[in-house]
Amino acid sequence: MKPLSIAEFAQYRFVRDAEGGVVALPSQGADEKTQLVLDCESWGLARLHLFAGAALDADKREAFEEEMKRIAAMRSRSLVRVASWGRDADDLFCASEMRDGEPLPAYLERASVPLAVAGEWIVQLFALLESEDELSASFRRFTTLNYQVIVDRQGIVRPVFSEFYGWTGPGARGQEHSLDWYQAQLFCSLIAGVPVRTFHHGSLPKNFEDLEEDIRSTVLASLEEDSGETYENLKAAMERLAEATDGDGEKAPLPRMALREWLRADLEESYDGPAEYALPPEVDPSDEPYAVVSRLRGGPANIQVLPGPGSIPRDGWLRQHHDATRRPGRGMVNQLRVNYTEDRNSVTLVGEESVEGVDLAALLGEIGPLGEAETRLVAAKVASAVDVLENHVASCSVWWLPPENVFVLTGSRSLSGSAKLTERKGAAAWEGYPLKFRLHQTTATLRDGVDLPAAVRQLAREPCGKHKAVRRSAVALPLIWRLLAGSRFRWEEPVTRPTGVSAEIGDLLEEYRLALNESPEALETDLFEAFAATAAPSAVESPPVVDTEAKEAAAMEEALEATLFDGEIDMAVTPEKESRGIETPVPVDEPQPATPEGEAPGIEGPEPATPETESGAPKKKGGFLNFWFWAALAGVVAAAVAGFWLSGWNERHGVYEAEPNIAFPETDYRSPAELTGDEVLAEIGEFLLEQGDPKHLKLLHLVEVFDFEANRVAVENALRAAAEDGNARAARLAGQLARTRGESPGNFRSWLLEAAEMGDAEAQYLYADSVLSDGAPEDVRTRAIELAGRAAGEGHAEAFELWAVWTREDDGELAFRAMESSARQGNVGAVYQLGLFRANGIGVDADPAGAAESFRKAAELGDPRAMYWFGRCLEVGHGVESAFTEAQRWMKNAASLGHEAAIEWCREREIAVPGAAEERG
């Protein structure tokens, strides 16, 4: 690894608090300072360790260099990773990953660790020591001072080796005691709650007697170093003690988090009065540690607390984060919606929607890795969703999508419940789960950094949406690996083929790993496509076709036979009562004779009876009683048949309440969300920057203080002048600015129309949408439809949808083709409306199956309207086999996203929807 030199605003930038001072982190060494920095290479936070004056000693410099090289090459979940190191004048420094926690001595001053948990921690540290053939100096003489207590990605409290001191005394004796002596000392400190102490036979923790006799004697033997076998004995004793750890056992207390404490304090102080959003003093294990649980726009949300513009310069952040958060409330389909952003000096608030699901990494941690077929299915869904995202107008380029940022909408936020549902349904679960992606960074992901090879990170800094194959492959490789192997992917380590995975796939993953590390720009095919191509033809089998109607008809016949009287009944028919006779059943596949007018359909009277029976015996009396016998028997048969059919209905649908026919709306077009003033100003700032000349650049700072009248006039005049020079974007931005300022429709529409006439497709669409949704005169609407058609001709997907909606009555077939074109471009609203067109027969013959399929596709892409109508189709069997359980799941998904009709549907059936009741209450 290449040593670096430190300089402010180079690779590392100091993170500053509300007072402008560098955020300090706890340090253990007397000659060390630890500070919070932003690593501009990985777009992540780091801990910077500064050793004052240490570079003046040549022996220390050499020992430091050797120590850092060895530690940086180590990989263990119990070790904080070292990213870089170097010299700055008289000081030495190293940068390690940011694991927010508390130094172990400080932790032990206020808490002791349960016995079984302490045993588990020591077992983990044994594994760390055994991961290297030869230990470096820091690991040969360790104490509680070397450790930090953190909460890991799974929410588990555990220690990590985070402080390195052995190199500071080069030439000192390498090892004063055996390794198990240090482990036994550490164990006693943990259970006693004592920060630093040397334990021996005469000085033991008070709760030492709570240990089993064999464990006590083993720990004592290690402390006294009286045997050569104490290492293995202590390790075995700790493993036995750790086995007592289970889900219901006593837990280790949560550590304090320095990063969280800084954000919490600065956020609290940023309000003059009562805080609107505040991180609670104590961390709830069920919540995100850097988020405030709240509600936005009527739905549950997490207000993420991040370092603000006063802490980290914005140009040091991942471009994808900027693009995903610059338009609150305008999140794309499949993107976890950002509803709110606010800068409060040293902290920034980003409000994201809270969805009914769990992240993919956590789900795989519960159920384990997937097979190849399921992995292809999930990978294909992710690839398709990312394509839809990137094809959307004003979307961002997706370079980074770790499995932790892929949310699987299972209908529940319970991890265990989601895991059980997935295991029960198998591959069918992955086919039905919609996905949502968190494209912005949070403090948690900022803390971990963006995990990409250096060559890919460099390409990600380039403007525009270039290098699609690289982007897709950089997303695909960690994702596919996690799906197949169940573990985190490491870019620097060669791919070892996971168990049960073919050699072809293992070689493919290694090929792309090397390419993305060494020459990513040379990639022509992305990994999603290459991985899909590895499927053998025989591996893709169609599900067996079940003739449901024949199966149910056979079951009905069997039920009838089981209830019919088996024997002979001697019965005469009275002529006067012939209308009460029982017909011979007519086979269901043969046509019945026409029913004469006035008769009940499907019921025929018997042949006229003769005074004698077939045997010639005189007719017996009691015909009235015989009639009631047969009527009762017919009732039993009818009840059995009805019961059979109703039991089948209930099995598929639940208690029947719905109408069998659905009245679909012809169209359901939704206008785009209007940009906020801040969003328009952000685009104006980009426009001024892109002009590149001094005249426009000097106006940039005015955008930041736009509320002053003189500044507003100067910016508006600049846009007006650029529009007069023929700049269509300037005219559009002037119109959007006028709209956010509440000016009359005629004013902002005139700007949009001017930009539209100059050929700006977005302006053409916005103008048409504004006019057509506002009941304008006929000639104005005709012109708006024409402009929408021009924007559609430029490939504007939403304009295609709008044009199709307004031309469907004139030419339904052409409107249908236009809606198809919009859907192919990734417009999920058009995918949904294709379902409405097919359901209503607009431009095509009515196609219930095609409509249900369109609804399903749009629902899987996250559209709540489609979720509702697909649920209705499943409820009554419209174009798809009825399945009430699946209908209920889709309705809950739609309701959790605020769909009013879905909320009402669930309420009528007493189905609980988290968040919906509060919203409507």
Segment 724-742, tens digit of pLDDT: 888 999 999 999 888 888 8
- Least Cα distance to 343 among 294, 310, 302, 296 occurs for 310
| pLDDT beyond 70 at 619 | no
Out of 365-379, 602-616, 849-863, least confident range:
602-616
pLDDT score recorded for residue 382: 95
Out of 38-52, 381-395, 581-595, 695-709, least confident range:
581-595
Confidence of residue 496 (pLDDT cuts 50, 70, 90): confident
Q: Any residues with CB less than 8 A from the CB of 227 and at least 6 apart, and which?
A: 221, 233
Phi, psi dihedral angles at 811 (to 5 degrees) = -150, 90
Q: How many CB atoms lie within 10 A of CB 163?
A: 24
- Least Cα distance to 306 among 701, 318, 295 occurs for 318
pLDDT score recorded for residue 548: 41
For range 181-188, the mean pLDDT: 91
- Count how many Cα atoms sit within 13 Å of the Cα of residue 764 in the half-sphere of its side chain: 25
Q: Based on C-alpha coordinates, what's the Rg of the chain?
A: 36
| pLDDT beyond 90 at 200 | no
Q: How many CB atoms lie within 10 A of CB 661?
A: 7
Strand partners, 144: none
pLDDT score recorded for residue 897: 87
Confidence of residue 794 (pLDDT cuts 50, 70, 90): confident
pLDDT score recorded for residue 676: 81
pLDDT in tens, 517-527: 999 999 999 99
Confidence of residue 77 (pLDDT cuts 50, 70, 90): confident
Cα separation of the two ends of the chain: 59
**C-alpha to C-alpha distance for 170 and 271, rounded to whole angstroms:** 51
pLDDT score recorded for residue 169: 67
Handedness of CA 424, 430, 436, 442 (dihedral sign): positive
The continuous run of DSSP H or E covering 784 comes out as helix 778-793
The SS3 assignment for 103 reads strand
Q: For tokens 């609804």, name the residue.
A: 855
C-alpha dist (Å) from residue 666 to 801, 855, 860: 13, 14, 21
Share of the chain above pLDDT 90, in %: 36
Strand partners, 14: 37
| pLDDT beyond 50 at 25 | yes
What value does the mean pLDDT of the chain take? 80
Question: Each residue of 371-408: b (16+ CB within 10 Å) or e?
Answer: ebebbbbbbebbbbbbbbbbbbbebbbbbbbbbbbbbb
Among 6-10, 157-161, 333-337, top mean pLDDT goes to 157-161
- One-letter identity of residue 784: A
**C-alpha to C-alpha distance for 435 and 859, rounded to whole angstroms:** 10
Question: Which tokens is 155 given?
Answer: 């929410």
CB contact at 8 A, 43 and 318: yes
| pLDDT beyond 80 at 920 | no
Question: Which tokens is 69 given?
Answer: 């090289």
**C-alpha to C-alpha distance for 765 and 672, rounded to whole angstroms:** 10
**DSSP 8-class letter at 404:** G
| pLDDT beyond 50 at 575 | no
pLDDT score recorded for residue 474: 96
**C-alpha to C-alpha distance for 512 and 494, rounded to whole angstroms:** 11
The continuous run of DSSP H or E covering 531 comes out as helix 527-532
CB contact at 8 A, 71 and 146: no
Out of 450-454, 478-482, 688-692, least confident range:
688-692
Confidence of residue 860 (pLDDT cuts 50, 70, 90): confident
| pLDDT beyond 60 at 4 | no
Distance of CA 482 to the CA centre of its chain: 15
Strand partners, 352: 302, 338
Out of 184-193, 297-306, 880-889, least confident range:
297-306
CB contact at 8 A, 183 and 225: no
pLDDT score recorded for residue 282: 85
pLDDT score recorded for residue 261: 94
Confidence of residue 917 (pLDDT cuts 50, 70, 90): very low
Helix extents (H) in 198-257: 213-224, 230-242
More confident residue, 871 or 659: 871
The continuous run of DSSP H or E covering 549 comes out as helix 548-563
pLDDT score recorded for residue 861: 86
CB contact at 8 A, 443 and 490: no
Confidence of residue 642 (pLDDT cuts 50, 70, 90): very low
Strand partners, 302: 293, 352
Q: For tokens 């893709």, name the residue.
A: 540
pLDDT score recorded for residue 330: 58
**C-alpha to C-alpha distance for 896 and 413, rounded to whole angstroms:** 11
Out of 220-229, 517-526, 822-831, 893-902, least confident range:
220-229
Question: Which tokens is 53 given?
Answer: 């004056």
pLDDT score recorded for residue 628: 41
Q: How many CB atoms lie within 10 A of CB 136?
A: 18
Strand partners, 50: 33, 93
For range 553-570, the mean pLDDT: 41
pLDDT in tens, 442-463: 998 998 889 999 999 989 887 6
CA angle 851-855-859, nearest 5°?
A: 170
Q: How many CB atoms lie within 10 A of CB 470?
A: 22
Angle between helices 900-908 and 884-896 (to 10 degrees): 130
CA angle 73-77-78, nearest 5°?
A: 90
Provide the pairing of β-strand 291-296 with 157-161: unpaired
Helices vs. strands in the chain: H and E counts, helices first: 35, 16
Q: How many CB atoms lie within 10 A of CB 845?
A: 7
C-alpha dist (Å) from residue 798 to 236, 437, 770, 803, 844: 65, 22, 13, 9, 21
CB contact at 8 A, 268 and 345: no
pLDDT in tens, 532-548: 998 755 443 433 433 44
6 burial level (CB within 10 Å; 0-12, 13-18, 19+): buried
Sort residue 97 into left (φ over 0), alpha (ψ -120 to 50) or beta: beta
Q: Any residues with CB less than 8 A from the CB of 584 and at least 6 apart, and which?
A: none
pLDDT in tens, 317-360: 788 888 888 766 655 678 888 888 888 889 999 999 888 899 99
275 burial level (CB within 10 Å; 0-12, 13-18, 19+): middle
CB contact at 8 A, 310 and 273: no
Confidence of residue 573 (pLDDT cuts 50, 70, 90): very low
Question: Which tokens is 3 given?
Answer: 């040593």
Q: Any residues with CB less than 8 A from the CB of 477 and at least 6 apart, and which?
A: 489, 509, 512, 513, 516, 527
CB contact at 8 A, 270 and 346: yes
Question: Which tokens is 368 given?
Answer: 């384990």
pLDDT score recorded for residue 315: 67
Q: Any residues with CB less than 8 A from the CB of 583 and at least 6 apart, and which?
A: 602, 603, 604
Q: For the chain, give percent helix, strand, coil, nearest 5.
A: 50, 10, 40
Provide the pairing of β-strand 147-151 with 157-161: antiparallel
**C-alpha to C-alpha distance for 356 and 262, rounded to whole angstroms:** 30
Torsion of CA 170, 172, 173, 178, to 10 degrees: -70
| pLDDT beyond 70 at 581 | no
Q: What is the 3-state secondary structure (H, E, C) of 453-510?
A: CHHHHHHHCCCCCCCHHHHHHHHHHHHHHHHHHCCCCCCCCCCCCCCCCCHHHHHHHH
